[in-house]
Amino acid sequence: MHRFPDYLLKGHANFMAGRYTREKDRYRDLASIGQSPQTMIIACCDSRAAPEMIFDSTPGELFVLRNVANLVPTYQPDGGQHGTSAGIEFAVKALGIANIVVMGHGRCGGIKAALSPDSSPLDSGDFIGKWMKMLGGLPEQIGHNELMTPGERQTALERISIRNSIANLRTFPYVADLEAEGKLAVHGAWFDISTGELWIMDSETGDFLRPDL
């Protein structure tokens, strides 16, 4: 028998006294009417990159899927249990969201493991190793570029991976169709933990740029 972590209970008491008290009506409505978020965020599990913090969002605003390194697989209707694909399907087909944002971030542990599988505390044969295989040969192609610093290679792969996930997203027929009809927009973003800045992917060029705030 063990107790629930005390600091989480205190955090929840703060929530009740703070945000919940202020937004009680909104929570009640969200419960009775249901959610209708406009945007799905596909983000990383990293504790430093919570989308609701980064976008200062209110309850009901963001449908958020988080996996290691914010990866999106290709469309594989093979009967397997694809959690990320299930989330995308639910967001697009059941909720009718208008935007999908693939949001990566700096100093991502999953990307780092993909770049340097040998120095990772994880075996490449483990789940992480197999999960990061979703990137195919991308880590090797950038990892062997000795002209870039390790930090540059890491940032480069973080951004390459976002573009790769967006390409994979478009292999989902309903994503491609709705995007073609102008009913769904797909975006990329990259969060800099150190500076707090969000870099937005230019949908034409694929470049990541800081917006004018």
Output the furthest CA–CA distance in the chain (Å, rounded): 57
Q: What whole-number distance in Å separates Cα of residue 200 and Cα of residue 191?
A: 9
**Smallest distance from the beta carbon of 100 to a second copy, in angstroms?**
11
**Smallest distance from the beta carbon of 169 to a second copy, in angstroms?**
13
| Range 128-167, binding a second copy (CB under 8 A) | 128, 130-134, 138, 141-142, 145, 147-152, 156, 159-160
Q: What whole-number distance in Å separates Cα of residue 205 and Cα of residue 2?
A: 53
Residue from 195, 194, 188 nearest 209 by CA:
188
Which residue type sits at 76?
Q
**Smallest distance from the beta carbon of 118 to a second copy, in angstroms?**
14
**Smallest distance from the beta carbon of 67 to a second copy, in angstroms?**
4
Strand-pairing partners, residue 185, are: 99
Residue linked to tokens 């205190």: 10
| Range 70-109, binding a second copy (CB under 8 A) | 71, 73, 77, 79-91, 93-95, 99, 101, 106-107, 109
Q: Which two tokens stand for residue 179?
A: 């995007």
Q: Which two tokens stand for residue 188?
A: 């990329």
**Smallest distance from the beta carbon of 104 to a second copy, in angstroms?**
14
Q: What whole-number distance in Å separates Cα of residue 178 and Cα of residue 185?
A: 8
Residue linked to tokens 């999908």: 100
- Closer residue to a second copy, CB minimum distance, 5 or 118: 5
Interacting residue with a second copy among 116, 122, 124, 170 (CB under 8 A): 122
Interacting residue with a second copy among 102, 104, 110, 115 (CB under 8 A): 110
| Range 165-194, binding a second copy (CB under 8 A) | 185, 187, 189, 192-194
Interacting residue with a second copy among 111, 126, 173, 190 (CB under 8 A): 126
- Closer residue to a second copy, CB minimum distance, 113 or 169: 113
Q: What whole-number distance in Å separates Cα of residue 187 and Cα of residue 112?
A: 23
